[in-house]
Structure 1
Amino acid sequence: MLAAALLFCAFSGWLYWTAYSDDDLAYSRARDEALAAGRAHLATLNSIDAAHIPAGLREWRATATGPLSDELRRTEKKSAKALRERGSSARAKVTDAALTSLDDTAGTATLIATLRIETTTRAGAPATDRKRMEAGLERTDDGWKLTSLAPVPVGKEG
């Protein structure tokens, strides 16, 4: 009985180790992490509270790296001025997203997503907009960050 229990424990340990070190499992973890980060970062980059513009811009910068981070830093003062003048707040929610590519070795990915953005003006008139976006992602020491962001045009019907 003891030998059977030891054999079972050894076999279970071996199964756990092979599953934990499986390349497919590591790839799926990277996919899930990139997708979750991309969804969160897209929502952040499309949201702003007019009462807290400096904090919102800091949150925007925290989501990005590479060329997108450079662009956000370069246009920060202009963006802050425009946001103050408009006085609008926006809250974005990613309604659907998927990775279209993932290179786990290079630490890069591409994501497509649809967003619903609710905007409120100074006058309080709410509006809802829907957008489709494509985003580039890169794995950094702080996790996955956005490197690019572009609208995806809606195709013509008929």
Structure 2
Amino acid sequence: MTSIQEVTEDTTDLESGHPEQTATRERAAGVPRVAVALCALAAVGAAWFGWAWIGAVGDDGLRYSRLRDEVVRSGSQAVQNLNTLSHRTVERDLALWEDSTAAQLHQQIVQGRAAFTAEITKAGTATSAKVLEAALTELDEAAGTARIIAAVQITVVPPQGEPVVKKTRLVGELTRTSGGWKLAALTQAPDGTTS
């Protein structure tokens, strides 16, 4: 047991002791307080982020955003695929066309594959596409249908001469299949002018 006199002597020793020892003891006494404060701050931060994460897991808005992004990504890739065709890789390119489509558009490609192959081989041309921008304009999750509009840059390389670059806007009708979102139709977007 410590007496009052011993405590007073200890404090007197601190006060009359060396300044370095006193400063070191004061710093050492402050370290646990700082550590406790940092641990409390970390616990509050972890609790807040955990609560936010739990809230986001069941968030319909987040789920819809992910679905929207998936549809735009799949649709953009399909639009790019259907605007890329080279006489050097015609079989691979047409297989990609088939993999990117569904419904009537898919049937048209399958039925016209031999004609497409002969036509592109004879022409000796190559087209490549790059989707510059794409946006979702409609999404019916229950029906499994969607529509996107895409700004596409298409480069046509003839057998002789310089490549020709053109920009166009296309509307893609998508349908959800067991293999993901596929193009069911692809048309030129209206230019917005009236006659």
In which range does the TM-score fall when normalised by the shorter chain? 0.7 to 0.9
Please identify which structure carries the higher helix content. 2
In the alignment, structure 1 residue 154 sits paired with structure 2 residue 186: no
Task: Pick from 16, 25, 43 the counterpart of residue 80 of structure 2.
Answer: 43
One-letter code aligned to 1:139: R
Q: Which moved more, 1:57-66 or 1:97-106?
A: 97-106
- Check conservation: 2:86, 2:120, Cα contact below 8 A: no
Matches within 5 A, 1:34-113: 34-113=71-150
- Which region of structure 1 is more displaced relative to structure 2, 27-36 or 125-134? 125-134
Aligned CA distance change for structure 1 residues 18 and 105 (closer, same or farther; 3 Å): farther
Which residue of the partner structure matches residue 33 of structure 1? 70
- 2 CA distance for matches of 1:8 and 1:133? 47
Letter of the aligned partner of 1:60 in structure 2?
W
Shift of 1:100: 0.7
Q: TM-score, normalised by structure 1?
A: 0.87
Q: Offset of 1:12 from its aligned partner?
A: 5.0
Structure 1 unaligned spans of 5+ = none
**Structure 2 unaligned blocks of 5 or more:** 1-35, 37-41
Conservation of the 8 A alpha-carbon contact between 2:156 and 2:163: yes
Q: Deviations over 1:31-87 (max 9, x none)?
A: 000001111110110001211111110011110111111111111111111111111
SS of 1:51's partner is: coil
TM-score for the superposition, normalised by structure 2: 0.72
2:154 alignment counterpart: 117
Q: Write the distance in 2 (CA, Å) between the matches of 1:64 and 1:80.
A: 18
Give the CA deviation at 1:97: 1.2
Distance 1:42 1:68 in 2: 12
- Structural RMSD (CA): 2.3
CA contact (8 A) 1:91 1:119 kept: yes
- Mark the structure with the bigger radius of gyration: 2
State how far apart, in whole Å, the 2-side matches of 1:76 and 1:102 are.
Answer: 30
Q: For 1:3-35, what per-residue CA distance to the aligned partner results, in whole angstroms no more than 9, with x for missing partners?
A: xx9998677545323311211111110000000
Shift of 1:155: 3.5
Write the letter of the residue equivalent to 1:59: L
What is the aligned residue count?
158
Kindly indicate whether the alpha-carbon contact (under 8 Å) linking 1:68 and 1:148 is maintained by their aligned counterparts in 2.
yes
| Equivalent residue, structure 1, for 2:11 | none
Shift of 1:146: 0.7
Q: Quote the Cα distance in structure 1 between the aligned partners of 2:182 and 2:144.
A: 10
